[in-house]
Chain A
Amino acid sequence: MPDYQRQVHNRLAVLRAERGLSRKQLAEKLGINYQTIGYIERGDYNPSLELALTIADLFRLPVEAIFSLNPMTPLSEEIFGEPPAETR
């Protein structure tokens, strides 16, 4: 990723695992190379707006549920609130 770009955080790996998709399968659905999925998941590549919207559409989620400029909290935490201190 070029130095002038901010890192875009994402939940792609979690969502992909949840739907039981391999990188190759997801890449085929999106029409991109499977390596690109890995780079996006690792935060080494920021997808274009078009690709981000296509991913959001594929997972039927709002784009901000998948991509964020701030580090992402676990989805369970967002839905059910903060976990008890002893489990953190």
Chain B
Amino acid sequence: MNTTITRRVEYLPRSRRRLVVAVALAGYPAAVAVLAGLKHTSLNRGLILALFLLVLLLTVAALAVGYRYARGRIDGRGARLDERDLALRQQAYALSHRVLAAILIAATAATVIYLTSGNTLRLDANNVLPATIWVIVYIPALPSLMLAWIETDQPADA
């Protein structure tokens, strides 16, 4: 059962893998946005929570697939890495750095634009906690997700 799931994930076509990576990356910010956007509406609290948990569950599932696909090739644990794996890991780390830089620059620019438009930003648990969770979850996961993003489809067994 476990081997079947691993093999299915291992042979996921790149288009599907990229969809999984996109869901993993956008899922948590989307869940937080859903919660923040809907909590001041008259919508039923239970429905908002259910929606939040659904998006969160999809994110966790997508992250798990990303990790499973990387098969320990990022941290080198549980996998014997050959030269292709090592080259791929380097590419994944390089792409992670570029993605992280783009996200940080975009977030900084958005904050600056928001603040220079006469708004104020209050730092409290409501906005620091989601950012902290994002850092804790995504920074370690990013190289595995990028590996799943860049690797070409596995050749069929022969």
Which B positions have Cβ atoms within 8 angstroms of A? Answer: 80, 82-85, 87, 91, 152, 154-158
Contact = CB atoms under 8 A, between A and B. Distances in A.
Interface residues of A, number: 20
B84 A36 contact: yes
Contacts of A32: 82-84
Contacts of A33: 80, 82, 84-85
Interface string A12-49: 01000000001100000001110110110110110110
Contacts of B83: 32, 36, 47-48, 50-51
B119 to A, nearest CB: 42
Contacts of B157: 23, 38
A84 interface: no
Nearest to B82: A32
B158 A39 contact: no
B82 A31 contact: yes
B77 to A, nearest CB: 15
A50 B82 CA distance: 12
Nearest to A2: B91
A62 B157 CA distance: 27
B82 A42 contact: no
Nearest to A30: B82
B154 to A, nearest CB: 6
Contacts of B155: 35, 38-39, 41-42, 44
For the complex of A and B, the 5 pairs showing the least CB-CB separation, nearest first, are A38-B155, A32-B82, A36-B84, A33-B82, A44-B152
A65 to B, nearest CB: 21
28 contacts: A1-B152, A2-B91, A23-B157, A23-B158, A31-B82, A32-B84, A33-B80, A33-B82, A33-B85, A35-B84, A35-B154, A35-B155, A36-B82, A36-B83, A36-B84, A36-B85, A38-B154, A38-B155, A38-B157, A38-B158, A39-B84, A39-B155, A42-B155, A45-B87, A47-B83, A48-B83, A50-B83, A51-B83
